[in-house]
Amino acid sequence: MQHAVRPRTLLRPGATPAPARRTSRMRSLIDAEALRVLHSAARALLNDLPQLTDRLVAALQEQEPAYRAAVECDATGVWQEAHRSLRHSVSSLLDPRGARDAARRCTWRIGATRAEQGMPLDALLHAFRLGGSLVWQGLVEETSRTAPEDVRLLVHVASDVWDFVDDHCTLLADAYRQTERQLAWKRENRVRLLAGALLDGTSRIADLPEAAQALGLPEQGRYVVVAVAGGAGAQLLAEPDVRAHWHPGVDADYGIVLVEEGREPRLAPEQERGPGARVGVSSAVEGLAAVGEARRLADTALALCPEQGGVIRLTEHLPAALVVTAPELGTALADRLLGPLAGLEPSDAEVLLDTLATWLACDGSAQRASRRLYCHRNTVLNRLRRYEQLTGRSLSRPSDLVEVSLALTARGLLRP
């Protein structure tokens, strides 16, 4: 055993203690006798270990549902595991120092293996304590059969036997929990890798089923990606039953959100998103394989968000999205459509551009634009005609109007 036998001496009430030397000699004799009885019974158990193993496996099947299922799946494996554990336990009674390391390695392997298999820790600890009970019962039964008068001596080693069981239960739990943490880290890391590959668009087709299972999302479905900067992504969705997986990024968090046909995810109110939170929502794509494309669209929407925060749904800002996805072309268009105003005084050019943008925002109504600009309707019309004269563009021509609108968008988004 791992623990030195602790001798015990009982005194009758009123008895006078013996001298210390005599007491020490008596304790040594009792210890020696107790060890002799223990070793004799332990050798007998070791010789009859298969029968003891059968008793333990039968008890586990009867008392522990987890082991009942394990026996049904792998009866031989359970029996061999129990046999090894019992052999190391009984051997430790005979040679505590020599058997210690092997016994601890055996217990650690059992804890780690059963953690990997998902067996409950409580069932495992019950099995070890049940094994300890059967070993102790076997020691008592063997001594009672061969030397009944010596059974009383076993009390002097009982605590050592149970200390051994307790120590190995602690070791077992440590192995189990350490393995469980490692497995959880591996699972979490694998989920991060799978989600990251989907969002980066580098996921292999062969990995899609595993990704779907790990993320708890169907491989085939309609998805949008939500990009969040400066806020808590997981608290963003207003519908708690929406199926989504959130992935932390460097500059933004990304939500892969399953949506129904014709619907976009409902977001939490502004006050719940956090001050300054910027949110970009992609248009919908089909299947997990297209999530990488959706992520790029979400990044585009996020780039359109004002610095002070807000939500941009890409489907509502497609012209602006075209500009930011091709900034060189947007800059060239702005130079072409607005460049002729560079010869004006900056304040005059700003007035013309502001009037043009307000008129477009008012759906081409000079009357509504004049109210916003606090000027007369004719003043608005005069400024629009001046723009047409300077640029050679006609605001009544649809193609020119589209270009002017995109040029103003580019000026607002791409301005240094």
Among all chains, which residue has been given the structure tokens 């009430």? 13
State the pTM of this model: 0.69
- Mean pLDDT check: name the lowest of 40-54, 69-83, 222-236, 275-289: 222-236
Q: Are 138 and 42 in contact (CB under 8 A)?
A: no
In angstroms, rounded to a whole number, what is the distance separating the alpha carbons of residues 215 and 237? 17
pLDDT one-digit tens code per residue, 15-30 = 445 444 555 555 566 6
CB 127 within 8 A of CB 67: yes
CB 275 within 8 A of CB 245: no
How does DSSP classify residue 345?
Answer: -
Which segment, 230-234, 285-289, 335-339, is predicted with the most confidence on average? 285-289
Phi, psi of 270, deg, nearest 5: -55, -40
pLDDT tens readout for residues 151-189: 999 998 898 889 999 999 999 999 999 999 999 999 999
pLDDT of residue 24: 56
pLDDT of the residue at 238: 64
Phi, psi of 143 (to 5 degrees): -65, -40
What is the token pair recorded at 186?
């591996």
Q: How confident is the model at residue 9 (pLDDT cuts 50, 70, 90)?
A: very low
- HSE-CB of 64 using CA atoms within 13 angstroms: 24
Mention every residue, 6+ apart, whose C-beta is less than 8 A from residue 380: 355, 359, 366, 369, 370, 373
Condensed to tens digits (0 to 9), the pLDDT of residues 359-408 reads 999 999 999 999 999 999 999 999 999 999 999 999 999 988 899 989 98
